[in-house]
Amino acid sequence: MFLNKVRNNRLILQNTGYLSVIEVIRLAMPFVALPYIIRTVGAENYGTAVFAQTIISYFSILINWGLDVSAVKDVSVHRNNPTELNKIVSSVLGLKAVLFCISLVFLLVCIALIPYMYRCKQLFLLAFMTCVSEIFFPVWFYQGIEKMKYLTLVRITSILFYTLSVFIFIHTKEDYELIVLLQSLGNVFAGCLSLYLLFGVNKIKLVFPGYERLNFTFKNSIPFFTSRLSVVFNNTMAKTVSGIFFSMEVVAAFDLAQKMATVALVPMQMLNQAVYPHIAKTLSRSFVKKFLYANVTLSFLVAFIVFMLSPVFVRFFAGGQLDESVALLRILALWVFCGGITTYIGAPVLVSFGYPRPFNVSVLLSTGVLFVLYLSMYIIGILNIYYFAFVLFLSELAILVYRFYYCWKLKLLSI
């Protein structure tokens, strides 16, 4: 019976493996260089680089416009229709290219008007280079057709390039801008190579999809854009506020804890991404229910390990610096537990069954919770990074409660 289940879900397991390799290497390999980076450039300069990348992440979301969520389902449904696939891919790439140009203009205006960004203009422009990969790296396409082999190789190559080049080119505190440059170059390389595979190996052809199709694709992705924007706000607000009100060392401490918590989410995220096309295709409620139990169990185990081993992780990666990260990571273990579950009952369940509204509203609700709590802390005068971490957990808990309620109400899940 077990072997039959493995055979029946072979494609899911295979794609889970490829996705896991990509994400584990993408998140773990930089940790190989992280102790060296912090020791070489110092916590403050590292925090400055992180702050620039945090600001640019808002532009990345604008360029994605939720297309990487909506396109997965479209590609999955039309995977055997080359004509339709050409139109889908052309629409997504065309819209992202236009949004990239708009983002670049907006960034240049911000640099001209904001004194801090003007002083660090080179750093922000280097960080913005990574946005090129947001156009060219079609994870959504390979996710939709459930073939992740090529992208696994591309992503591994680009990450190895970044990790190795850090040791080759970064030697002094003044080299902190190279952290951003090297990471951007690695992402641009991955984007260009994966684009070649898209056209050369998968034989996708660029066509003009028509204004109606472009308009439909753009509007259809708006709910996903707002939800993804909310996710980015939720994940980056603490670093943004810390950079404005505190110091770049505080930004570095929170970033380190958040990076480790994000790595801990990888096993759940990869399983969720892999089952998304399967659920969208089969709409099996029994599968959804069975996988929920596995997801909750895995989320709890991972969160428990993070909580218990936080001091070991921080000591190893920060080399005696950024002690605040230990308490932050322990608080974020709660976020890890909730995050593993909310990811599953979001796109793989709600969106697959045709209920994107509660998926998107839940994220907007969490952002509302986040802003209200941040504003309350500011008014009361109790702003500190430990509260920031706990607020992040509360916002994720709000998503979990809201999504689970709708899954129960719509009879997508039953306990």
Cut 0.85: pTM above it: no
**Does 347 lie in the same domain as 302?**
yes
Segment 150-195, tens digit of pLDDT:
777 777 788 888 888 989 999 888 888 999 999 888 888 888 888 8
Domain assignment present for 1:
no
Q: Which two tokens mark 266?
A: 């990888």
Q: Is 384 left (phi over 0), alpha (psi -120 to 50) or beta?
A: beta
**Does 256 lie in the same domain as 389?**
yes
- For residues 73 and 354, the answer to whether their CB atoms sit within 8 Å is no
Compute the distance between CA of residue 130 and CA of residue 186 in angstroms, rounded to an integer.
Answer: 8
The percentage of residues in the chain with a pLDDT greater than 70, rounded to a whole number, is 91
What pLDDT does 128 receive? 92
**Does 250 lie in the same domain as 196?**
no
Segment 277-304, tens digit of pLDDT:
778 778 878 888 888 888 888 999 999 9
Domain assignment present for 203:
yes
Segment 165-177, tens digit of pLDDT:
989 999 888 888 9
- Cβ count within 10 A of residue 397: 18
Domain assignment present for 4:
no
**Does 166 lie in the same domain as 26?**
yes
Segment 32-77, tens digit of pLDDT:
788 888 888 888 898 889 889 888 988 988 898 888 777 877 787 7
**Does 216 lie in the same domain as 244?**
no
Burial code (b: 16+ CB inside 10 Å, e: under 16) for 133-170 equals bbbbbbbbbbbbbbbbebbbbbbbebbebbbebbeeeb
- For residues 374 and 241, the answer to whether their CB atoms sit within 8 Å is yes
Give the domain-ending residue among 188, 220, 252: 220
- For residues 252 and 43, the answer to whether their CB atoms sit within 8 Å is yes
Domain assignment present for 71:
yes
Contacts of range 24-29, beta carbons closer than 8 Å, 24 or more positions apart: 24/263, 24/266, 25/155, 25/156, 25/159, 26/155, 26/159, 27/259, 27/262, 27/263, 27/266, 28/263, 29/159, 29/160, 29/162, 29/163
Domain extent, residue 21, equals 13-220
Give the domain-ending residue among 220, 253, 279: 220
Domain assignment present for 130:
yes
**Does 179 lie in the same domain as 94?**
yes
Number of domain units in the chain: 2
**Does 186 lie in the same domain as 249?**
no
**Does 245 lie in the same domain as 128?**
no
**Does 211 lie in the same domain as 335?**
no
**Does 313 lie in the same domain as 180?**
no
Q: Which two tokens mark 23?
A: 């994400």
Give the domain-ending residue among 164, 191, 220: 220
**Does 263 lie in the same domain as 139?**
no
- For residues 60 and 130, the answer to whether their CB atoms sit within 8 Å is yes
Domain assignment present for 230:
no
Which residues are within 8 A (CB) of 262 and not within 5 positions of it... i.e. 6 or more apart?
27
Supply the angle between the helices 82-113 and 211-220 in degrees, to the nearest 10.
70
Q: Report the chain's mean pLDDT, rounded to a whole number.
A: 83
Three-state secondary structure of the chain: CHHHHHHHCHHHHHHHHHHHHHHHHHHHHHHHHHHHHHHHHHHHHHHHHHHHHHHHHHHHHHHHCCHHHHHHHHHHHCCCCHHHHHHHHHHHHHHHHHHHHHHHHHHHHHHHHCHHHHHCHHHHHHHHHHHHHHHHCCHHHHHHCCCCHHHHHHHHHHHHHHHHHHHHHCCCHHHHHHHHHHHHHHHHHHHHHHHHHHHHCCCCCCCCCCHHHHHHHHHHCHHHHHHHHHHHHHHHHHHHHHHHHCCHHHHHHHHHHHHHHHHHCHHHHHHHHHHHHHHHHHCCHHHHHHHHHHHHHHHHHHHHHHHHHHHHHHHHHHCCCCCHHHHHHHHHHHHHHHHHHHHHHHHHHHHCCCCHHHHHHHHHHHHHHHHHHHHHHHHHCCCCHHHHHHHHHHHHHHHHHHHHHHHHHCCCCCC
Domain assignment present for 3:
no
Instruction: Provide mean pLDDT across the span 91-117.
Output: 91
- Residue 1 CB burial class (10 angstroms; 0-12, 13-18, ≥19): exposed
**Does 175 lie in the same domain as 64?**
yes
What pLDDT does 138 receive? 80
Instruction: Provide mean pLDDT across the span 18-22.
Output: 62
Domain assignment present for 98:
yes
